[in-house]
Structure 1
Amino acid sequence: MNNEKLIINGSGSSKGGKFQIVEINGSGIVSGDIECESLRFNGSGKADGKVKAEDVIISGSGKITGAVEADSIHINGSASIHGNLQANKVKVAGFSSFGGFVKGEDLTISGKASIAEDCEIETFQSEGKFSVGGLLNADDVNIRLSAGESKAQEIGCRRIVVKSRRGVLSLFKLLPSPVLTAHTIEGDEIDLADTKAKIVRGNSVKIGPGCHIELVEYSGQFECDQSATVVKSQRI
């Protein structure tokens, strides 16, 4: 890694390469792969290639057409990453779209995230909205639902807790009700609220208010709130 800095202001463009810092201000474009310590988007920049960096910060509107490998990525604005993402820490406070899979240690969502394929993470936390097109695989899943739908095709974990934030606007139906939708949820400890699923399978299973589950399979304890709907439950 050299000590060279690449800073694009306005609508300029540059080739990729190895840098210490890459900063795109305005509508700048970097064509080619980038390897750097720090990559920052402050405008509506585009990196047309793969990115390998220690830190990626997207504060404006950033687009990356290739895969991203980073120690940490913070999205405070709007981000579109067409390839796969591998990062130890991912924070989404704005809007993000990932065209491949996401792998890492910690993923925190307080805005909105859309993941086209699988999400494999150690700790998954969401207070916003998310969509996972494949399997959400994590050790610990903590979801606090906001208005509207969050969804994953499948969820596999050691522990999952889903709670709901029903504000005044949701109660008066001015905003859509919060809900988590999944085909299958499987884990050791499961505690759900406002969740719709075909199959829920685990050791300790707690089905809370607002849930509609077609089949619950449990090997240990099972609790069901009187306001929830469970079509069938069975010990396995």
Structure 2
Amino acid sequence: MSAAQTKLYDLKISGSGTSGGGTFKDVKISGSGKIHGDLSCKDFHMSGSGKVDGKVDAEHMKTSGSSVFSGDIQTGTFTVSGSSKCNGNLTAQEVDISGSMKIAGDLFAQTLESSGACRVDGKLQGQSLETSGSLKVGKDCEVESFTSSGSVHIDGLLNADKIDIKLHHHSTIKEIGGETVVVKQSRTGKFFKQVVNFFTQKDEFLHCDLIEGDLITLENTKAKLVRGKHIIIGENCEIDHVEYSHELDTKENAKVERSTKI
């Protein structure tokens, strides 16, 4: 095959232009451009209100407007600073969200950093997750390291070796399992958050059915069952039952209905 036959060209769409899918070098969409069909490229950049009606396979992706992808996405890096929606699954090495991202399927990312709003209707899997905005997961979340300083809502199991949650807003996680689990109330802007919570009638607690780990430290947590080796039940906790094998330390401003050494 000759060099001319293998050469890849760039695709640029501005305004309200449309194009079919295919294999390209760099793809740039500005305005309200649309691509009909599957797309394969090196760099993908979308600004405006673009749409891809098909699957996307790219090395690098960046969206800064309002983007919609009807199929699965596979990429090395994905940077979202606007509003983006994927109606399939998203698989990436790195995902960075400073805007809002909604994934109708599953999210597989080695590293996920989000300071905006991230919603995954399916499951979330990866190595490192760090969020300071809003995170919602419809099924299980399985990572090696989980760090949160925003609001978290996980309808399934959060499973990670290291879990560090700083509560800024009302959060719910059905079940938590990890080696080290730390849940603490954020100390920043405490008065302002108290005023906001008063008017919105939202309590700044983490609600769980089950928390299980080796080393567990909790604040502002309401849970049915906490089970582990070394457990500290800190201020503003309301726990129905604690099961511990080594040590239990219950602080003065904490409520534990029942505790059992196992």
Give TM-score scaled by structure 1 length: 0.96
Bigger radius of gyration, 1 or 2?
2
Distance 1:100 1:184 in 2: 21
Gaps of 5+ in 2: 1-7, 9-22
Give the Cα separation in 1 of the matches to 2:148 and 2:186: 12
Query: What CA deviation, in whole Å up to 9, does each residue of 1:140-165 have, x standing for no partner?
Result: 0001100x311111000000111102
- Distance (whole Å) between structure 2 residues aligned to residue 23 and residue 63 of structure 1: 15
Counterpart Cα distance in 1 of 2:49 and 2:68:
7
1:169 shift after superposition? 2.5
Identity score, percent: 34
1:168 maps to 2:191: yes
2:113 is matched with: 91
Which ranges of structure 1 fall in alignment gaps of 5 or more residues? none
Task: Pick the structure with more helix per residue.
Answer: 2
SS of alignment partner, residue 168 of structure 1: helix
Query: Contact 1:156–1:185 (CA<8 Å) still a contact in 2?
Result: yes
Mapping for residues 171-190 of structure 1, pairs under 5 Å: 171-172=194-195, 173-174=198-199, 176-190=202-216
Q: Is the 8 A contact 1:75 1:96 kept in 2?
A: yes
TM-score, reference length from structure 2: 0.87
- Matched length: 235
Cα displacement string for residues 37-63 of structure 1 (whole angstroms, at most 9, x for unaligned residues): 011111001111000000011100001
- 1:95-174 alignment to 2 at 5 Å? 95-146=117-168, 148-165=169-186, 167-172=190-195, 173-174=198-199
Name the residue aligned to 2:27: 6
Please point out which of 43, 52, 70 is paired with 1:21: 43
Question: What's the secondary structure of 1:19's corresponding residue?
Answer: strand
Instruction: Provide, for residues 52-108 of structure 1, a one-character-per-residue CA deviation record: whole Å limited to 9, x for no partner.
Output: 000011100001111011001011101111110111000111011101000000110
8 Å contact from structure 1 (residues 170, 177) kept in 2? no
- Alignment pair present for 1:205 and 2:231: yes
The residue number in structure 1 matching 2:255 is 229
Residues 166-185 of structure 1: CA deviation (Å, up to 9, x unaligned): 51124453564421110000
Cross-structure match for 1:69: 91
- C-alpha distance in structure 1 between counterparts of 2:112 and 2:240, whole Å: 33
SS in 1 for 2:144: strand
SS in 2 for 1:221: strand
Q: Distance in 2 between matches of 1:34 and 1:169?
A: 43
The 3-state SS of whatever aligns with 2:222 is strand
